[in-house]
């Protein structure tokens, strides 16, 4: 096809920028916030489209070269001096000039987000991909998302924070349900340099654009939060769903098992007592050790699990299906040889011994 080179209409740009106001009415009574950088002008709608308008062809956001050229997978419009094909229904996607303009558009968008909170707070909406498009535009979208990690663009509690200062979760997942029940708002997370950073925990729909930028909340973060809470002497919430808790903790990576084994989260048959994996011998049943009471067994470091939803978790980490007399004997001998005190031994009756 024959190529037509169109130079941007400077008079049009001057009209759009003729005042210092950020809001310019472009289509009907809809208002847009303009950002100009060199030959690139970006037009961000100030109000969200109504549902019925989103499906209308004329409401799609476009790339313009003075006049509209082609739809783009963004919820804002672009004006730039693109090289277009003779029919003017598309830009030349492989043109060196257009590839340079794509980089300019990226830089202009990132600067707009960094400079204007009104734009930053709606990045997720502006980058929502609503239409299929040429690789030229999808590559721009990927580049924009990759570049947003250290730019404040996540609205949270009346402020705007960086994606790297957040951890995302979906309320529809077991992790999300657990986070809501526990009321987790901040956790420590390791950075690439090995440092610890306190991150805000935010709900994020998996289909949101920012879900590709914000790091995911993982079981390792839950272990960190539970351990910090334990060190501060806080009790586990009474409304906690034990089944979801242990389901999530089953996915903890082996590198975090040393921390996991210190968490006093496993409910026992002793009223109000929760123990850690490292606290002793854990079993789903201690029937064969009767008539010793649960409290006496606990004194010996032998615990019967009261909530069976913890069963798979306990078994994965060395617990027993049913503790036998031989198991108890081996455990007590090991305990005496290591840390079982003389006072503990003196308090045992002859039958118990």
pLDDT score, position 339: 61
pLDDT score, position 89: 81
190-247: pLDDT as tens digits:
776 767 888 999 988 888 888 888 999 999 999 999 998 899 888 877 777 889 999 9
Classified as helix, coil or strand, 4 is: strand
Residue (of 228, 227, 234, 176) closest to 201 by Cα position: 176
173-196: pLDDT as tens digits:
888 888 888 888 888 887 767 678
pLDDT score, position 68: 78
Report residue 325: phi and psi, to 5°.
-60, -40
Residue 149's DSSP bridge partners are none
Task: Count Cβ neighbours within 10 Å for each residue of 302-340 and write b for 16 or more, e otherwise.
Answer: bbbbbeeebeebbeebebbeebeeebbeebbeebeeeeb
pLDDT score, position 28: 52
CA–CA separation, 229 and 75 (whole Å): 42
> Which residue pairs from 114-118 have beta carbons closer than 8 angstroms and sit at least 24 positions apart in sequence?
114/151, 114/152, 116/22, 116/33, 116/35, 117/160, 118/22, 118/33, 118/46
Classified as helix, coil or strand, 283 is: strand
Residues of the chain with pLDDT under 50: 1-21, 23, 25-27, 51-59
CA–CA separation, 220 and 197 (whole Å): 14
Task: Give the Å distances, CA to CA, from 267 to 247, 249, 298, 304.
Answer: 15, 15, 12, 9
Cβ proximity of 75 and 45 under 8 Å:
yes
Residue 237's DSSP bridge partners are none
Q: At what angle do helices 219-231 and 174-182 cross, to 10 degrees?
A: 20
For residue 295, count other CB atoms closer than 10 A to its CB.
12
For residue 142, count other CB atoms closer than 10 A to its CB.
12
Query: What's the pTM?
Result: 0.74
- Which of the 8 DSSP states describes residue 3? E
CA–CA separation, 289 and 287 (whole Å): 5
DSSP collapsed to 3 states, 66-95: CEEEEECCCCCEEECCCEEECCCCCECCCC
pLDDT score, position 45: 87
């Amino acid at each position: 096809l024959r190529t037509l080179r169109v130079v941007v209409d400077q008079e049009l740009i001057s009209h759009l920028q003729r005042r210092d106001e950020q809001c310019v009415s472009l289509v009907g009574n809809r208002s847009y916030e303009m950002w100009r950088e060199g030959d690139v002008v970006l037009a961000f709608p100030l109000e969200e489209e109504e549902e019925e308008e989103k499906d209308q062809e004329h409401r799609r956001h476009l790339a313009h070269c003075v006049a509209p050229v082609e739809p783009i997978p963004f919820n804002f419009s672009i004006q730039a001096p693109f090289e277009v094909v003779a029919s003017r229904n598309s830009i030349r996607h492989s043109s060196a000039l257009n590839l340079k303009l794509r980089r300019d558009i990226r830089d202009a968008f990132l600067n707009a987000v960094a400079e204007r909170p009104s734009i930053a707070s709606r990045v997720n909406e502006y980058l929502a991909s609503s239409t299929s498009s040429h690789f030229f535009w999808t590559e721009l979208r990927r580049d924009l998302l990759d570049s947003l990690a250290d730019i404040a663009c996540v609205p949270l509690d009346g402020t705007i924070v960086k994606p790297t200062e957040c951890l995302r979760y979906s309320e529809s997942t077991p992790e999300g349900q657990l986070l809501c029940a526990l009321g987790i708002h901040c956790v420590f997370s390791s950075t690439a340099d090995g440092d610890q950073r306190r991150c805000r925990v935010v709900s994020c729909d998996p289909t949101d654009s920012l879900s590709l930028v914000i790091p995911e909340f993982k079981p390792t973060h839950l272990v960190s939060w539970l351990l910090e809470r334990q060190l501060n002497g806080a009790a586990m919430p009474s409304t906690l769903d034990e089944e979801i808790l242990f389901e999530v903790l089953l996915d903890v990576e082996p590198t975090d098992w040393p921390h996991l084994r210190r968490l006093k989260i496993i409910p026992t048959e002793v009223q109000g007592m929760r123990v850690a994996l490292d606290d002793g011998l854990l079993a789903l049943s201690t029937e064969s050790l009767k008539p010793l009471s649960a409290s006496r067994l606990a004194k010996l470091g032998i615990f019967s699990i009261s909530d069976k939803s913890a069963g798979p978790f306990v078994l994965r980490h060395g617990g027993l299906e049913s503790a036998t007399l031989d198991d108890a004997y081996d455990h007590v001998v090991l305990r005496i040889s290591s840390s079982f005190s003389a006072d503990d031994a003196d308090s045992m009756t002859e039958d118990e011994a």
